């Protein structure tokens, strides 16, 4: 199968690309490198440095004619979506719609759309959150990531485009950038290793659902052949506080007495989330396999090795 992966130079999608290639698929990567890195792109993938809003993307679809699209590319900064809601919509809604139209025109058979379980539901009425929970996003980002789910339903009804929606929890693991708002494990790891301060926004009680990258890759592989027309949470069902993550990271790095500082809560963020995964278990045959403790251990080891190679810390 030939699969076009958008955002394939980024943290999550680059791991997905690696697995698709290892499984024998042909992979085409589209990424504008705004947040991704060229060194993340598998050398066996065909790479186009393009924004999904660029009209030249039509040439990629016409030339490559993929069988499937795995759409990870997005504006994913919650705070930026609050500051720049029009830009957020241009990327996440219009950019995605452009890809859907091109997919229809060249006969793409299947879509895997990466949505968010951390932002579309808003503040949960109960935990863990099921897929049928009301959609009440508290940020433009949550609204723009949910909107394409409706377009996918329409394109399936009108144009027989099969699709699967994966609503991710908070994903972490090797390659995640510490320069952003979502990669708290990466942020804490590098800050601790470099002797910098770690900030918890709010009082440290905000909770998120953390899924290791290896488990997320397996969900994408399953979605290639299962779950037609389904919307699936990809989460553990476990709500973990910011302080608990901080504590796991400091212990994994051998710094159990390190203390955080506290900052003001950031606008547009929900307080608590954890995603029920029974539907993914039944429809995709998927459930998380890597424990949070093991995942944090593996992630922190990656960041230590990375900083040693860069000469920023001693081996």
Residues with Cβ < 8 Å from 6, sequence gap 6 or more? 13, 30, 31, 52, 69, 70, 71, 72, 73, 99
- Please name which of 52, 14, 11, 55 lies closest in space to residue 30, comparing C-alpha atoms: 52
Q: Say which of 121, 141, 168, 303 is annotated catalytic.
A: 141
β-strands 46-49, 26-31 pairing: parallel
Cα separations in angstroms, 146 against 56, 59, 129, 222 = 26, 27, 15, 21
E strands of 21-85, at which residues? 26-31, 46-49, 68-71
Cα separations in angstroms, 28 against 58, 193, 214, 291 = 14, 36, 21, 32
Tokens of 103: 């997919």
- Please name which of 209, 218, 25, 32 lies closest in space to residue 117, comparing C-alpha atoms: 209
Nearest-angstrom CA–CA distance, 153 and 176: 31
- The answer to whether residue 303 is catalytic is no
Strand partners, 99: none
End-to-end Cα separation, the chain, in angstroms:
42
Cα separations in angstroms, 85 against 6, 92, 108, 219 = 22, 10, 30, 30
Cα separations in angstroms, 193 against 129, 174, 210, 250, 297 = 35, 15, 21, 9, 14
Integer-rounded Cα Rg, in Å, for the chain is 19
Q: Which amino acids are annotated catalytic?
A: 141
């Amino acid at each position: 199968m030939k699969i076009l992966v958008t955002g394939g130079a980024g943290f999550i999608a680059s791991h997905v690309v690696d697995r698709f290639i290892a499984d024998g698929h042909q992979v085409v990567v589209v990424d504008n490198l705004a947040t991704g890195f060229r060194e993340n792109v598998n050398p066996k993938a065909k790479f186009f440095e393009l924004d999904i809003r660029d009209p030249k993307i039509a040439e990629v679809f016409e030339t490559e004619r993929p069988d499937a699209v795995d759409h990870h590319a997005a504006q994913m900064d919650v705070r930026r979506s609050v500051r720049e809601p029009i830009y957020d919509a241009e990327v996440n809604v219009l950019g995605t719609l452009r890809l859907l139209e091109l997919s229809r025109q060249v006969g793409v058979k299947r879509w895997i759309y990466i949505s968010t379980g951390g932002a579309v539901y808003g503040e949960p009425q109960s935990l863990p959150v099921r897929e049928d929970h009301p959609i009440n996003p508290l940020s433009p980002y949550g609204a723009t990531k949910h909107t394409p789910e409706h377009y996918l339903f329409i394109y399936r009804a009108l144009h027989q485009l099969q699709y699967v929606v994966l609503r991710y929890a908070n994903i972490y693991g090797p390659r995640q950038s510490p320069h952003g708002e979502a990669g708290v494990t990466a942020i804490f790891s590098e800050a601790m290793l470099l002797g910098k301060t770690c900030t918890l926004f709010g009082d440290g009680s905000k909770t998120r659902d953390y899924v290791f990258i290896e488990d997320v890759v397996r969900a994408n592989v399953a979605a290639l052949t299962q779950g037609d027309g389904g919307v699936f949470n990809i989460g553990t069902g476990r709500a973990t506080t910011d302080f608990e993550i901080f504590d796991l990271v400091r212990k994994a790095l051998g710094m159990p007495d390190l203390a955080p500082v506290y900052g003001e809560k950031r606008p547009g963020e929900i307080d608590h989330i954890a995603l029920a995964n029974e539907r993914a278990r039944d429809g995709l045959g998927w459930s998380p396999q890597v424990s949070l403790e093991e995942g944090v251990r593996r992630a922190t080891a990656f960041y230590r090795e990375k900083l040693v190679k860069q000469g920023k810390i001693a081996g």
